[in-house]
Structure 1
Amino acid sequence: MKTTRLLFVVLALVFSACEITVVEPRYDDRDQVVGSYRLEEYSQSWRVYSNFTINIRKVGTGYGSDEIRIENFYNAGITVMARVYGNSITIPLQYVNGYEVEGSASVYLNEISFTYRVRDTYTRSSPDYCQATAWF
């Protein structure tokens, strides 16, 4: 009888000391947009279509990181910084290699739809208002 009680107490202590912790990985909104895309751009200002490739890469790691960089933006060889929030991308006003850039985009399935404004600050030209669609 003492052996049964002792065994019961030992088992109770062993099983009560076990704790299962499930750690779920954090979903990174940027994962859905990272990659290389072919892009078709329409300049509303010049009424011209262009086709070129852009690359999107993550900037920073860890919890709270939401920045990406878009390489070959506007087919001008410039890299712009942007932030991803869910299915939305925000390109804040920035000056990169003589270009003033700002805009936004939305992500749906394997497509990113951009709307942005670019102005060449060296020539002081009028802003070029563009719409573009990027596909995987």
Structure 2
Amino acid sequence: MKKALLGLSLLLLMSSCDVIYVEEAPIDSRNLFTGRYEVEEYSETYDELTLYDMRVVKDGDLYSNVIYLRNFYGADIEIYANVYGDELRIPRQTVNGYLIKGVGHIEYSDIVLTYSVEDLRSNSYIDFCNTVAYRR
């Protein structure tokens, strides 16, 4: 009888427990990059420093890793990049006659970029740039 009572007690105890599932929202690393920036772009090819503003926005798809850089290269063009943690990759893409590719990362709250830009409309050199975008 004691064994039956003990078994019944354990069964009651286990059946009274509630199982709670907690779903944590995934962290969107793209949030590290989004915002408005003041950009200092140094051209290694032309030995020039250019200043301009840039805006970074996320793709609308919640499961995407894509961000868009608006007014990239100070040329009023929009390019896309893929975000992997605190790094981004600008895949080879042609936008408004510019062939662009590069990489970047977050350093504190600023974006550090290294990329190349080739103007396909002219016979100019490929422009190799090192850029720091300072968050406003």
TM-score range, shorter chain: 0.7 to 0.9
Establish whether residue 99 from structure 1 lines up as the match of residue 98 from structure 2: yes
RMSD value over aligned CA atoms? Answer: 1.8
Distance in 2, Cα, partners of 1:88 & 1:13 = 47
Q: Name the structure 1 match of 2:85.
A: 86
Structure 2-normalised TM-score? 0.86
Which deviations, in whole Å up to 9, do the C-alpha atoms of 1:67-102 show, x marking residues without a partner? 111000000000001000011110011000010101
SS of equivalent to 2:115: strand
Separation in structure 2 between the aligned mates of residue 14 and residue 39 of structure 1, nearest angstrom? 61
Q: Compute the TM-score of the two structures, normalised by the length of structure 1.
A: 0.86
Whether 2:72 is the aligned partner of 1:73: answer yes
Q: Name the CA distance, whole Å, in 1 between partners of 2:134 and 2:71.
A: 15
How many residues are aligned here?
A: 127
List alignment gaps of at least 5 residues for structure 2: none
Match of 2:112?
113
Moved over 4 A (4+): 11-14
CA spacing shift, 1:129–1:13, aligned 2, 3 Å: closer
- 1:20-66 Cα offsets, whole Å, 9 max, x none, are 11111101110100111111000111111111111111113233x11
Structure 1 unmatched ranges of 5 or more: none
Q: Percent identity?
A: 34
